[in-house]
Amino acid sequence: MPATALTPAVRDEIARLGRADIMVGIPSFKNAATIGYVVRAAQAGLVQYFPDLKPVVVNSDAGSPDGTQRVVVETEPPDYIEQILLVRPTNRLDRVSLTYPEIDGTGGKGAALRMIFEMAAALEVQALVVVDSDLRSIVPEWIELLAGPILKGGYDFVAPLYARYKYDGTITNTVTYPLTRSLYGHRIRQPIGGDFGVSGDLVRHYLTRGDWTDDVSKFGIDIWMTTSAMTGGFAVCQARLGAKVHDPKDPGADLGPMFRQVVGTILRLSVLHAEHWLPIHGSHDVPAYGFERIIDPPPLEVNTLRLLTEFHQGSLSLADRWRTMFAPANVEMLLVLAREAGKLADAAAARLGISGDATSTKATTVEMADALAAFHFPDDLWARLIYDLIVTARDQPEAVEAMVASLVPVYFGRVGSFVIENRHLTTDQAEERVERQAREFELLKPYLIERWEATGAGRADPDAATPAGARRGPA
Ligand SMILES: Nc1nc2c(ncn2[C@@H]2O[C@H](COP(=O)(O)OP(=O)(O)OP(=O)(O)O)[C@@H](O)[C@H]2O)c(=O)[nH]1
Ligand SMILES: [Mg+2]
C-alpha cells in the first residue's frame, strides 16, 4: 500500500483507544438519514454477542456536508443499548467518527476503509467487521454472523450472503460473481457485498499489499478485499444475513462510475494473479454460516428501454475501440446485437408512445421489458468478452480505464437482456439464470487460458512490498 498519511486526529484516537478486540468500521458519504440506525445496530450487536470483548465502532467519513458525522456522535450511546437489551458488558464500547485522509489525492469508499484497516491494525483487533452506512436491513445479529466465523471458527474472511431482488446487484451478478468463481474457484456469491468480516491477520496482509490503485480507493475496494483474501490463501466463508435493503440504484442511471471502478480493479487483479488462477479448474462451494432466512427483498424498477438505447448509441461511437478490446468474431456479434437493440428500442418506444428521452417514460419495468422481449444477449458472448478484456488488460495495462469506460454500454446491453428475460421470473428462478451464466464462465475458461497463453507471457504476482505493482507495465 502507499505510504500512510494518517491525520493527527486519527493518531490521537489510536493513542486514546490503546487497543481493542473487535471493531465495526463504517465508511460513509452523505448518509445522515440512515447511519444512526446502522451505528445503533452495530453497538447492539457488539454488546449483545461479544460482551466480554473490548469493542469499538469507527465511522470513517468523507467529510460529508449533510451532518453524517454529527448523527454518529449524537445517536443513542451504548448505555441505551445496555438498558434495552439488559446486558452488562465487561468493557465500555468506544465510538468514534473521523474524516479519513485521501490516498494519493483520491478519496472514496476504499480510502475510508484504508483508515479503518490502519486503526484496526494499530489497535490489534482480532476481528474487524465492516458494514455500509446506507443499510436499512442490518440487525444486531449481523455483527455476530460476520465476526463469529473469525472469532469462533478460525476463518479470516467472511463474505455476506443475502437475498437481493432479482434486479439488484447487477455488477455482482454479471461480472464479479461469475468471474471470481471461474478464476479462483470459490463460489462466493457476493464478492462485493460491502459487509464483511476480516481477521486481524488478514487486515495486516491488506496493509502489506503493493497493488493499491486509485480505483481501490473508490469502489474497487470490495473486490480487492475479496480477491486479496483468496489469493493470499486465507480461509474464506459466507454468512447468511437475510435481505440486503439499502439505498438502491437503477443500473442504467447510477452505476456507471462504480462499474468502471469495480471492473477496472477486477481486471487489473486478474492480470496480477494469473499464476494463481491459471491452474484452477471448476469451482467449489464456500461454507455458509447462519440460519437460513426466507425473505422477499423489496422490488426495484429498471428502465430497459434506456439500457438498450445506450447500448446501441454506444456502439455508434465505440465500434473501433471495441475492436481493440475484443476478439474480432466477438466484436462482430456484439455489433449485430447492438443494431438489434437499437431497432427494438425504437419500436418499443413507438409502441409505448414515448418520444425522445427514454428516461422520462412512465412505463413500468414489465411493460418495457414486454415490449423488448425479442432481445437476447447470450451468456457465452458475455463471458468471452470479459475474458478478452483480461488478455487486453495484460497487453495494454495503460488502457484499462478507457476500456472499462467503453464496456459500460455493453454492460447495459447485458443487464437489459437479463432484466428482459427475467421479467416474469421469481427471484429464485432469476438466481438460477445467474448460476447458469456462472457455469458458462467456467465452461469457457479454456478459451481464456488459450488466449492468455497464445498471446504473451503471464506476469507473476509481484512481491507484496512492491509499491503500485498493479500499475507497472508488462514484464
Ligand atoms: N467515506 C466514503 N464512503 C463512501 C464513499 N462512497 C460510498 N461510500 C460508502 O460506501 C458504502 C457503499 O456505497 P453505496 O453507494 O451504498 O454502494 P453499494 O451499496 O455498494 O452499491 P449499490 O449496490 O450499487 O447500491 C456506503 O456506506 C457509502 O456511504 C466515499 O466517497 N467516501
Ligand atoms: Mg448501498
Q: Among residues 258, 289, 320, which one ends one of the domains?
A: 289
Taking the centre of ligand 1 as the mean of its atom positions, its distance from the CA of residue 449, in whole angstroms, is: 34
Give the pLDDT score at 359: 66
* Ligand found nearest the CA of 28: 1
**For a substitution probing ligand 1, which of 7, 10, 24, 29 has the most ligand atoms within 8 Å of its CB?**
29
Kindly give the pairing relationship between strand 127-130 and strand 196-199: antiparallel
Ligand 1 within 6 A of CB of 73: no
Instruction: Examine the domain organization and report whether 282 and 310 are in the same domain.
Output: no
Instruction: Examine the domain organization and report whether 23 and 171 are in the same domain.
Output: yes
H helical segments located in 326-426: 328-351, 365-371, 379-395, 400-421
Q: Most distant CA pair in the chain: distance in Å?
A: 67
Which residues lie closer than 8 Å to 83 by C-beta, 6 or more apart? none
| Domain CATH number, residue 104 | 3.90.550.10
7: which 3 cell numbers? 491525520
Instruction: Examine the domain organization and report whether 321 and 192 are in the same domain.
Output: no
Q: Is residue 97 part of a domain?
A: yes
CA-30 nearest atom, ligand 1? 29
Angle between helices 427-443 and 177-184 (to 10 degrees): 40
CA-107 nearest atom, ligand 1? 31
Query: Can you spell out the DSSP letters for 117-141?
Result: HHHHHHTT-SEEEE--TTBSS--TH
**pLDDT tens column, 27-74:** 999 999 999 999 999 999 999 999 999 999 999 999 999 999 999 999
Instruction: Examine the domain organization and report whether 171 and 229 are in the same domain.
Output: yes
**pLDDT tens column, 360-394:** 678 899 999 999 999 999 999 999 999 999 999 99
Give the C-alpha separation, 226 to 468, whole Å: 18
Instruction: Examine the domain organization and report whether 143 and 84 are in the same domain.
Output: yes
Ligand 1 within 6 A of CB of 107: yes
Ligand 1 within 6 A of CB of 31: yes
Tally: H helices and E strands in the chain: 20, 10
Specify the residue with its C-alpha closest to ligand 1, atom 16.
134
Specify the residue with its C-alpha closest to ligand 1, atom 7.
109
Instruction: Examine the domain organization and report whether 249 and 330 are in the same domain.
Output: no
Q: Looking at residues 151-166, what average pLDDT do you find?
A: 95
Ligand 1 within 6 A of CB of 411: no
**pLDDT tens column, 171-200:** 999 999 999 999 999 999 999 999 999 999
**For a substitution probing ligand 1, which of 35, 60, 132, 136 has the most ligand atoms within 8 Å of its CB?**
132
Ligand 1 within 6 A of CB of 47: no
**Stretch (H or E) spanning 238:** strand 236-243
Taking the centre of ligand 2 as the mean of its atom positions, its distance from the CA of residue 249, in whole angstroms, is: 8
Give the C-alpha separation, 222 to 53, whole Å: 27
Residue 2 has pLDDT above 80, yes or no: no
Specify the residue with its C-alpha closest to ligand 1, atom 30.
108
Specify the residue with its C-alpha closest to ligand 1, atom 4.
109
Give the pLDDT score at 471: 35
Q: What helix, strand, coil percent values describe the chain, rounded to 5?
A: 55, 10, 35
Taking the centre of ligand 1 as the mean of its atom positions, its distance from the CA of residue 199, in whole angstroms, is: 22
Smallest CA-to-CA distance from 113 within 101, 105, 123 is with 101
Q: How confident is the prediction for the chain on average, in pLDDT?
A: 92
Specify the residue with its C-alpha closest to ligand 1, atom 31.
108
Sign (positive or negative) of CA dihedral 274, 437, 255, 307: positive
- CB-based contact 81:43 (threshold 8 Å): yes
Instruction: Examine the domain organization and report whether 159 and 225 are in the same domain.
Output: yes
**pTM exceeds 0.75, yes or no:** yes
Q: Is residue 345 part of a domain?
A: yes
Question: How many structural domains does the chain have?
Answer: 2
Taking the centre of ligand 1 as the mean of its atom positions, its distance from the CA of residue 201, in whole angstroms, is: 25
Instruction: Examine the domain organization and report whether 243 and 309 are in the same domain.
Output: no
- CB-based contact 32:241 (threshold 8 Å): no
Give the C-alpha separation, 308 to 252, whole Å: 10
CA 95 remoteness from chain centre: 26
Lowest-confidence segment of 3-7, 245-249, 436-440, 459-463 by average pLDDT: 459-463
Taking the centre of ligand 2 as the mean of its atom positions, its distance from the CA of residue 119, in whole angstroms, is: 23
Smallest CA-to-CA distance from 380 within 445, 285, 309, 336 is with 445
Q: Is residue 64 part of a domain?
A: yes
**pLDDT tens column, 415-465:** 999 999 999 999 899 999 999 999 999 999 999 999 999 976 544 444 443
Instruction: Examine the domain organization and report whether 91 and 186 are in the same domain.
Output: yes
The domain of 201 spans 8-289
Phi, psi (deg, nearest 5) at residue 161: -130, 110
Give the C-alpha separation, 36 to 133, whole Å: 9
Smallest CA-to-CA distance from 102 within 217, 264, 221, 222 is with 217
Residue 106 forms beta bridges with which residues? Answer: 103
Instruction: Examine the domain organization and report whether 119 and 248 are in the same domain.
Output: yes
Q: Is residue 298 part of a domain?
A: no
* Confidence band, pLDDT 50/70/90 cuts, at residue 78: confident
Give the C-alpha separation, 327 to 213, whole Å: 27
Ligand 1 within 6 A of CB of 112: yes
Ligand 1 within 6 A of CB of 340: no
Kindly give the pairing relationship between strand 55-61 and strand 127-130: unpaired
Instruction: Examine the domain organization and report whether 218 and 313 are in the same domain.
Output: no
Which residues lie closer than 8 Å to 441 by C-beta, 6 or more apart? 178, 179, 181, 182, 383, 386
Q: Is residue 260 part of a domain?
A: yes
Residue 231 forms beta bridges with which residues? Answer: none
Taking the centre of ligand 2 as the mean of its atom positions, its distance from the CA of residue 324, in whole angstroms, is: 34
DSSP 106: B
Give the C-alpha separation, 24 to 59, whole Å: 8
52: which 3 cell numbers? 466480554
Q: Looking at residues 325-351, what average pLDDT do you find?
A: 97
Give the C-alpha separation, 282 to 294, whole Å: 29
Ligand 1 within 6 A of CB of 133: yes
CA-131 nearest atom, ligand 1? 27
Instruction: Examine the domain organization and report whether 240 and 331 are in the same domain.
Output: no
Give the C-alpha separation, 388 to 447, whole Å: 9
243: which 3 cell numbers? 435481505
Residue 474 has pLDDT above 70, yes or no: no
Q: Is residue 296 part of a domain?
A: no
Is the backbone of residue 199 left (phi > 0), alpha (psi -120 to 50) or beta?
beta
Q: Is residue 2 part of a domain?
A: no
Q: Is residue 314 part of a domain?
A: yes
